[in-house]
Amino acid sequence: MQKSVKKVVLAYSGGLDTSIILKWLGDNYGCEVVTFTADIGQNEDLAPIKDKALKLGIKPENIFIEDLREEFVKEYVFPMFRANAVYEGEYLLGTSIARPLIAKKMVEIAQKTGADAVSHGATGKGNDQVRFELGAYALKPDIKVIAPWREWDLNSREKLLAYAEKHGIDITKKPGKSPYSMDANLLHISYEGLVLEDPNHAPEDDMWRWTTDPKNAPDESEIIEIEYANGDPIALNGKKLKAHEILHELNNLGARHGIGRLDLVENRYVGMKSRGCYETPGGTILLKAHRAIESLTLDRGAAHLKDELMPKYAELIYNGFWFSPERIMLQSLIDKSQECVNGVVRIELYKGNVIVRGRESKDSLFNVEFSTFEEDAVFNQKDADGFIKLNALRFIIAGKSGRKF
């Protein structure tokens, strides 16, 4: 095995896999290990992670825990929602959008500490290995990436547990911890594995951790107002808030009303299908609200072009190309369209439903003088005759020639 690495930055969660990787890196590469843990709103006490790293021999100066919640939402989540990005018609990309930020911070810490490599705990079957590594190479082309799951023979839970026991690695089960493979951040929480590996097996009721079952949600609906400026939410119910605070509040509201559950079979980047379940309460509200304010303020051509570009944009994020020239190019185009996406959307939340109850904007393109069904003085209905005949001309010519379409 290659021994040329001197120092490596490990994306460290403190869980079983990354704790084993921490030990494994030292044993197999003989290198100094730096741990990096990102607080992106996973709602977890991160102090024990530092204690665990110290117990595993990491120097205090080599332990990095950073609060990235505002940067995550403002610089990654909100730009994605300006595009109304949805992968394969349903998935709001909660895991995908967090990975480029983590990769960026790993590279920054590597530069700060003089590390020549980064490492992660993503498996060789998953999408995350691609997202982490494409991000790292885009930002630091000469970085070395160590992916233990593609190197070691610890390819089962039993082998991982045996390795942990042999090396005295703490594997104490956290109270109430779900047995599912989970990922959480401010945008979502996901579940994979166990009974979910059978796509015909319904999720167990006690699997869901964030949202109320819509059947048990309050019988009274709740109406909220979201204010937008340049395509981003800036206030909730008249109160100006930071980006991560808005998403946090919307998560709480959506969760209470049973909003944002999803059971999905998706196509992974590596070629296989994967079944996962997701809870994205705040994101589900934001998607509906953003489309509502855009419906009032975006020109038809711009809106339709955005809808055509969105699947490509979403696929770029899903496949790990956040730092690619094409994603950045698309983002510039999308952001230009958002300059007049300003105003307030009124939303009703009720038993899993997100219902638009009104929208207004100083930049509205809705003109009742033209759109009214009552008598008006500005629209000549006879004008429709000409453009209909011009659009029908090819059908008329083909029909006269006897051609059948």
Q: What ranges do the domains of the chain cover?
A: 7-68+98-166, 181-360, 374-400
| Catalytic pick among 82, 99, 131, 359 | 99
First-to-last alpha carbon distance for the chain, in angstroms, is 65
| Catalytic pick among 13, 69, 119, 128 | 128
Q: Check if 99 is active-site.
A: yes
pLDDT of residue 1: 45
d(CA 115, CA 34): 8
| Catalytic pick among 39, 116, 178, 181 | 181
Which CATH number is correct for 7-68+98-166, 3.30.1490.20, 3.30.70.2340, 3.40.50.300, 3.40.50.620?
3.40.50.620
Q: Check if 383 is active-site.
A: no
For 239, the 3-state DSSP assignment is strand
d(CA 315, CA 99): 14
Q: Check if 324 is active-site.
A: no
pLDDT of residue 177: 52
Residue type, 104: K
Any idea which fold 181-360 has?
Argininosuccinate synthetase, chain A, domain 2 (3.90.1260)
Reading phi first (left if > 0) and then psi (alpha if -120 to 50, else beta), residue 238 is in left
Q: Write out the H or E segment, with its range, that includes residue 227.
A: strand 222-229
Q: Check if 371 is active-site.
A: no
Question: pLDDT truncated to tens, each residue of the chain (405 aa)?
Answer: 455 899 999 999 988 899 999 999 999 999 999 999 999 999 888 989 999 999 999 999 999 999 999 999 999 999 999 999 999 999 999 999 999 999 999 999 999 999 999 999 999 988 999 999 999 999 999 999 999 999 999 988 789 889 999 988 887 655 555 578 899 999 999 999 999 999 999 999 999 999 999 999 999 999 999 999 999 999 999 999 999 999 999 999 999 999 999 999 999 988 899 999 999 999 999 999 999 999 999 999 999 999 999 999 999 999 999 999 999 999 999 999 999 999 999 999 999 999 999 999 999 999 988 888 888 888 888 888 899 999 999 999 999 999 877
In order, the DSSP letters of 71-130 are: HHIIIIIHHHHHTT--BTTTB--TTGGGHHHHHHHHHHHHHHHT--EEE----TTSSHHH
Distance of CA 404 to the CA centre of its chain: 48
State the pTM of this model.
0.94
Name the phi and psi angles at 224, rounded to 5: -125, 160
